[in-house]
Structure 1
């Protein structure tokens, strides 16, 4: 059985294979290989892209889908996550779950050892988003090695997954510019740097926007208010303001593409000119969520 709970648990060759398979589906070459399978989706927080991606992807692969809302299972009456996972494993073939906390809940779902569990975003990491990001970059540049990527904004679950994924590729230069107090969690930063040491990539994080290098291949941001979270500091917008992605960043990187995991808030983390401009791949990136979901489902279900 193969779960996808953290990219840290995924060997390099499996990561590369998932990106390759996602590109295969993006090119329209995939086959409906999951006939007779049943995929459960359980989302405890709102989702447009990830939930639709896994639902549509499963259906396109020939599987059937059962959707559970946040109040639909006996978890709300006190049944343990382990017992719930054990029950589900006797009825469905895979569970795609978005939690509002750490990955511990996902690990409890997976403890039954029979039904694959896929992390559709936890508080710490959004692994399937990173797969969509890599698929988008590979489609645009024909490779992932030697790319130079600038991430601007909060060190949230999307940023953590991007760090864990891109740091595996030789020659990648990945630079994070995160607001003070909102950087990458230490555990993800350590793992990304360990990956980079092994692969020959570089991962740098700073908490200002000064002295930016030039000629990035891609510039990436995410919404300032991560889904399902709030910030205790009432003045957090003042801290984030210098980290808005505007067309000024393209003065030093005129050929860069723009990435955003969406939903976007024009005028906050990104200007409308950038999001809707010719450099933006954000909506193609959203399409790749489905292609990546298809690759993950095929990998987990064999």
Structure 2
């Protein structure tokens, strides 16, 4: 397909968690996404490198950006997408994941799965003969983080040396992926979170080890103002994710001091941009003024999901 995509081919690989990917591989996907976007705006709305291929979207949870961006990405690469809601498959009647994985592998070229529990992805990948891509699990959201790296690159002109402050639930799946991606790309990652909601220790340990190699850093603090000081990017996510309704009120109580508002953004400095993976709950994790304000780049983030999904599919699909 020209450009650098064939040089950085990752064909046949699963994408379950960015802990499995080396820094150069993450950079390759981000650069491929940037190339896809440039070609899109140059008038190449369809780049049919996956003509004749099929992509199954197996979703256990609701989705807007992830589902639509993958479906459109498949179309713009010349592939067919099949949306398969969990309740529409025999999985809903108790068919084992390993059976579903082996059957789908006979029909499609890629499985994109959004699941409640990360082990379900691992089970799919263990038995599938085609790449399995994590479209969100309780552990991580790698396709979101890769897209966010593209947005940061566009806005700051670099990745290495950028400071990103993650404010809110440190154990959030998006935060886990951003911590790992940031560390592997030489960024300075500051996580502001209550002590009860710290990131998983294995994720932190992995990220800190990589940050030593790349010149980046990872720190965790309970003080959001300390985290955002000198930040290029201030990032938050919803306080209550799908499936956490039973702890919703308690999470809202302990996260109230971590709301991203104008005061917090001012503490970051005039050049800081605001990012949110959406959907947002205005008045909880972020105020309306910040979300809709001039420093917000959330709509660019949302668009970049499309170009990043194209890069992921083009690079991983066999």
Taking structure 1 as the reference length, the TM-score comes to 0.95
Counterpart of 1:262 in 2: which secondary structure? coil
**Aligned partners of 2:238 and 2:281 also within 8 Å:** yes
**Aligned partners of 2:190 and 2:227 also within 8 Å:** no
Counterpart of 1:25 (choices 36, 39, 42) is 36
Work out the CA distance in 1 between the residues paired with 2:192 and 2:86: 34
1:11 Cα shift? Answer: 2.0
Greater fraction helix: 2
1:263 aligns with 2:274: no
Counterpart of 1:199 (choices 206, 214, 232) is 214
> Unpaired segments of 5 or more residues in structure 1?
none
1:205-244 → structure 2 map (5 Å cutoff): 205-212=220-227, 214-232=229-247, 234-244=249-259
1:233 Cα shift? Answer: 6.8
1:89 aligns with 2:110: no
**Residue of structure 2 in register with 1:286 after alignment:** 302
1:20 Cα shift? Answer: 0.3
**Aligned partners of 1:45 and 1:228 also within 8 Å:** no
**Aligned partners of 1:35 and 1:62 also within 8 Å:** yes
1:110-259 → structure 2 map (5 Å cutoff): 110-155=125-170, 156-170=172-186, 172-212=187-227, 214-232=229-247, 234-252=249-267, 253-259=269-275
1:228 Cα shift? Answer: 3.1
1:74 Cα shift? Answer: 1.3
Counterpart of 1:235 in 2: which secondary structure? helix
1:113 Cα shift? Answer: 5.0
1:141 Cα shift? Answer: 1.4
Work out the CA distance in 1 between the residues paired with 2:244 and 2:273: 28
The worse-fitting range, judged by mean Cα deviation, of 207-216 and 262-271 is 207-216
**Aligned partners of 1:183 and 1:207 also within 8 Å:** no
Counterpart of 2:245 in 1: which secondary structure? coil
Taking structure 2 as the reference length, the TM-score comes to 0.90
**Aligned partners of 1:138 and 1:144 also within 8 Å:** yes
Work out the CA distance in 1 between the residues paired with 2:249 and 2:165: 27
Counterpart of 2:26 in 1: which secondary structure? helix
Counterpart of 1:54 (choices 70, 73, 87) is 70
Provide, for residues 246-297 of structure 1, a one-character-per-residue CA deviation record: whole Å limited to 9, x for no partner: 0112323111011000001111100111100111001110111111111110
**Residue of structure 2 in register with 1:14 after alignment:** 25
1:211 Cα shift? Answer: 3.7
Work out the CA distance in 1 between the residues paired with 2:306 and 2:153: 16
1:179 Cα shift? Answer: 2.3
RMSD between aligned residues: 1.5
1:176 Cα shift? Answer: 0.4
